[in-house]
Chains A and B, each alone.
Chain A
Amino acid sequence: MSETPTDSVGDDVTGRITAWRLIVTLLIALLGAGAFVYGALFHIIVIGGGAAAGPAALSGTTDAGSAVGATDSSIEMPEPQVVHDVTVAAIVRLADGEIEKPATDQPAAACPT
């Protein structure tokens, strides 16, 4: 074979690359699942429960937490099932005084300009 595949898993029939690939794949899948559960738990429980610490918890930053905490009582929290990430983000911006009312659930693309 003049052009032996170099990147193909099939190139290593002994399973060495497959084992490496298995480890990387499982690691990324586990990290991803962990991130998803972490995000979803805070998203649904914390925000849905009415404590506006969600963005802080999601972000892990104190800045966002203090910003949101400052306007905790002034924000009418949406139902958890209709809260989505950008709404969470909008809450932070609301708390920062960047915007005056809760954003719609649409991203900047919705703004045709």
Chain B
Amino acid sequence: MAMTERKPPLRTARWLKWRPWVQFGFLFVWLDPLMLRIHSFCGPVFHCYACPLATFACPIGIIANFSALHLIPFIALGTLAVISASVGAFICGWVCPFGWLQDMFARIPTPKVRLPRWAGHSRYVVLVALVIVIPFVWGDAHPLFICRVCPAGALEAAVPSMAKAAAAGEGVAWPNTIKISVTVLFLLALFFTWRPWCTLLCPLGAIYGLSNRFSGIFLRVSDHKCVKCGLCRKLCKYGVLPDKNPNDTRCVRCLECTKCGAITVGILATKPSDAAAPADVPGEDV
């Protein structure tokens, strides 16, 4: 790819410095010190509702539990459909507390490797097998029922409940071996790659990834601004080729690639800036 003159970042890129703070701010939505526990409804994020502070229910836990009971979780599915159709994977990049946790670990300056692009497909295996099929066929007692292997459940629910039991002088019930193994591997992986859970295993991320194809807010490439320098590919840590496929299912909408200036955020039914404004004007970019 030929290197040519860089263009200054657009507005979207300037939002980036606020992303950790937006993620942090949303913690006050998902972790409710007032203990409202509105568990009738799902939060659109991956946060265990066995966590003592969880405000909403976890949609994946709900789907798996309902699958085990051969029931249709209308509220959970409805929530996910509406969120997918509107913002999609922006939830992953900007809102989800488990994504934020992994982003914070990623700041530790250890050498990190990019996972191969095909790795993202394993999330769909988890979604279909551990969230739907295994619960449906074998029920919630199966050792591979998603909640029994989920590291979010271990860190956000089992650890606090063990600490509480230990503080109260009661016997501590340890998580099962599979769950401990997955959690230890996850914690180790945090030091050597970016967002290992999101990239490899998250069933909710798999759903939001699919929605990148149709969500109302998406990424687009401005052809007249792209100088084929490959910067966007270097900026993306999740195996996406933003200049070629900005609505790839692996994209978590971190918007790092928008620093290049040619990738911008688009909103449904708005025309690309190429059509509306051939000059170097952000157009409908948000």
Q: Which A residues are closer than 8 A to B by beta carbons? A: 1-11, 13-15, 18, 21-22, 24-26, 28-29, 31-40, 42-44, 55, 58-61, 63-64, 80-89, 92-93, 105-110, 112-113
Asked whether A10 and B222 contact (CB < 8 A) given A64-B71, A85-B57, A109-B153, the answer is yes
The complex places the Cα of A12 from the Cα of B128 at a distance, in Å, of 33
Contact across chains for B48 and A109 when beta carbons are under 8 A apart: yes
Shortest 8 CB-CB contacts between residues of A and residues of B = A32-B81, A109-B153, A36-B78, A39-B74, A10-B220, A84-B39, A35-B78, A110-B50
Q: Please, could you name 6 A-B residue pairs with CB atoms under 8 Å apart, sorted by A? A: A5-B244, A7-B213, A32-B81, A39-B75, A82-B37, A108-B65
B165 (CB) vs chain A CBs: closest residue: A112
Contact across chains for A32 and B79 when beta carbons are under 8 A apart: yes
Q: Which of A8, A24, A36 has the most CB of B within 10 A?
A: A8
The complex places the Cα of A55 from the Cα of B70 at a distance, in Å, of 11
B86 (CB) vs chain A CBs: closest residue: A29
Asked whether A80 and B214 contact (CB < 8 A) given A5-B243, A32-B79, A109-B157, the answer is no
The complex places the Cα of A55 from the Cα of B221 at a distance, in Å, of 46
Interface residues as binary, B212-226 with A (CB distance below 8 Å gives 1, 0 otherwise): 011110111111000
The complex places the Cα of A21 from the Cα of B44 at a distance, in Å, of 22
Please, which residues of chain B bring their CB within 8 A of the CB of A26? 85
Contact across chains for A44 and B40 when beta carbons are under 8 A apart: yes
Contact across chains for B70 and A59 when beta carbons are under 8 A apart: yes
Contact across chains for B272 and A33 when beta carbons are under 8 A apart: no
Asked whether A59 and B72 contact (CB < 8 A) given A7-B247, A86-B62, the answer is yes
Please, which residues of chain B bring their CB within 8 A of the CB of A89? 65-66, 68-69, 71
Which residues 146-187 in B have Cβ within 8 Å of A in the complex? 147-148, 150, 152-154, 157-158, 161-162, 173-176
A84 (CB) vs chain B CBs: closest residue: B39
The complex places the Cα of A1 from the Cα of B222 at a distance, in Å, of 12
Please, which residues of chain B bring their CB within 8 A of the CB of A43? 40, 75
Q: Would you give the shortest CB distance from B184 to chain A, in whole angstroms?
A: 15
Contact across chains for B72 and A60 when beta carbons are under 8 A apart: yes
Q: Would you give the shortest CB distance from A50 to chain B, in whole angstroms?
A: 16
B73 (CB) vs chain A CBs: closest residue: A85
- A107 contacts which of B58, B81, B214 (Cβ < 8 Å)? B58
- B50 contacts which of A42, A82, A92, A109 (Cβ < 8 Å)? A109
